[in-house]
Every structure is written in structure tokens, then in C-alpha cells.
Amino acid sequence: MVAEVVAEKINANAAPVEAKADVKVEAPAVLASEKPKAAVEKPAAPAAPTPAPAKVAKSPKAEETLSFVFGKWDTRNIEIEDASLANYLSLDGRVVPHTFGRATRGRFEKAKVSVVERLVNKMMRSGQGKRKVSGKYIRGRGGCGKKIMAMHTVEKAFELVERETKENPVQVLVRAIEHSAPREDTTRIKRGGISYTQAVDVAPLKRVDEALKNIALASFSSSFNKNVDAAGALAKEIVLASKEDNTSFSVKRRDEVERIAKSSR
């Protein structure tokens, strides 16, 4: 009897163990973002760097000449003593002073044009026009529209200026403009059928225009029907105006305009 009871107890304790043995244990779910260690891919080898495009070597001499007028005269160290003209004397260094009229469509855009090119443009005049200057007409040299010819004339004049003064001809030209630019002029006012002249101040841009015009007219009058070429007459006028010499045509014209304006105050 005792053996049967012990056997029943053993069977009763063994039954739940067998039931537990039948339970299936599921493995934890693996997230899609997680990969097993065996499936981890090795990082790809870095791609070979693409070769940089070959750079065209530029000679330092070519880079320096980009700021030289006619490829000869540097414009980076030019000094302007007259503060009122500093914003209107453009010293843009161009090997060929020719902008093909790009600064002619807007107001005051010509102030951005190089002062050397503006002198070249003044050399293409046909003279003074229908008005008399100091009681006489001044004829041009038939250079209207011939800009290449005018540039050759200015370049040759600069060479003569450099030979005589031993200075940068662009600096001498700037000094000549400062000394020959009138500060005061007259305008005509009409009121009630009566017209009279009144003295007015000259704008800085107008001062530069008048100075360049008088320098160009001086070369016309000094070389017309004479044994002096245009380049030599222009070089002589630039040198005399830079020294504020009273024999300079542009300086005499400045004094005449200011004298008339002084009497009309």
C-alpha cells in the first residue's frame, strides 16, 4: 500500500512537468531595422578621387598688364588732389581703352568710363562746332568716328609726355584736368522778356568734360595747317596744363570763363 501511494504521488508531480515540456517557447521577434550580425555588410571602399581639371598657367607679366593703359602705364597708384573730382575721374586700367559705347545709355554713366578713353572720344570731334571760342572757330582733323586713329594719337602723345616729364603720363593728364577745369560759369536767364546772364557753379562731371574738351581743342588749333602733328600738339598741351602754365590754351580758357562769370555775379 505504501508503495502504491508513493507511486501515485510521483505520477501526480510528474504530470505538470510533462505539460510544461509541451509548451513551445518562441524566439523574440527581430525588427526589420535590426539585422543579425551575420548579415551586416562591410562598408564599401572609398571611391577614388576624381582628378581636378588642369589649370592653365598664367604668366605674372600677363596678369600685371591687365591694369595698364595701352599695356604700358599703370593706373593703380595715380593720385587725385582735387577731392571734388575724385568720383568722376575713372582710372580703369584697360589695355585697349574702348568700351564700345556701353556707358552711353544711362545718366551719369560716363563717369565710370576711363578718363583716357574720354580723352580719346574728345579727339574724335569735328572742332568746336557752330560756336566761336575766344572769337574764332576751331576746326578738327577729320577724325569723327575714327577711334583707332584717335587711340594711336593719344598713345603717341603719352609716349612724348613720358619722355619729357619722366612721369606716368596718366598722372600728368589727371593733373592737367585738375588745373584746366573751370569752377564757375554763366547761364542765361529770361524773365518777362528780359534775358541776362547769371554766374553758377559748375558740376564736377561738367568740369571734367570742359577740361577734356579744351585739351582736345588745343591740339586741333596748334596742329591745324602747321608742321606739328596732333600727337605732339596734344602732348605739349597736357604738359603745359599740368604745370598750370599761362600759355596753355585750356588754362587760358578756364581763366576767361571764370572772369566772365565773376562779372555776372
The pLDDT score that the predictor gives to residue 61 is 47
Residue 109 is classified by DSSP as: G
Measured distance CA(195)–CA(190) in Å, rounded: 4
Q: Which CATH architecture has domain 61-263?
A: Orthogonal Bundle (1.10)
Q: Give the mean pLDDT of 28-45.
A: 52
- Residues 6+ away with beta carbon under 8 Å from 124: 143, 144, 145, 146, 147, 150
Q: Using one digit for the tens of pLDDT, what is the confidence trace for 186-242?
A: 999 988 888 888 999 999 999 999 999 999 888 888 877 778 888 899 999 999 999
Q: What is the pLDDT of residues 108-160, one digit of tens each?
A: 888 888 899 899 988 887 766 556 665 555 666 666 778 888 889 999 999 99
Distances (CA, A) of 164 to 70, 171, 188: 19, 14, 42
176 and 238 in contact (C-beta within 8 Å)?
yes
Say what the pTM is. Answer: 0.68
Amino acid at 149: M
Q: Looking at residue 131, what is its pLDDT?
A: 60
What is the C-alpha to C-alpha distance for residues 83 and 67, in angstroms, rounded to an integer? 23
Which residues on adjacent β-strands are paired with residue 187? 198
What mean pLDDT comes out for the span 239-263? 91
Q: What is the mean pLDDT of residues 154-169?
A: 92
**Of 157, 175, 149, nearest to 234 (Cα)?**
157
Single-letter residue type at 88: Y
Residue 185: phi, psi to the nearest 5? -145, 180
Q: Which helix (H) or strand (E) holds 185?
A: strand 184-191
Summarize the chain as % helix, strand, coil (round to 5).
45, 10, 45
> Which of residues 28 and 119 earns the better pLDDT score?
119
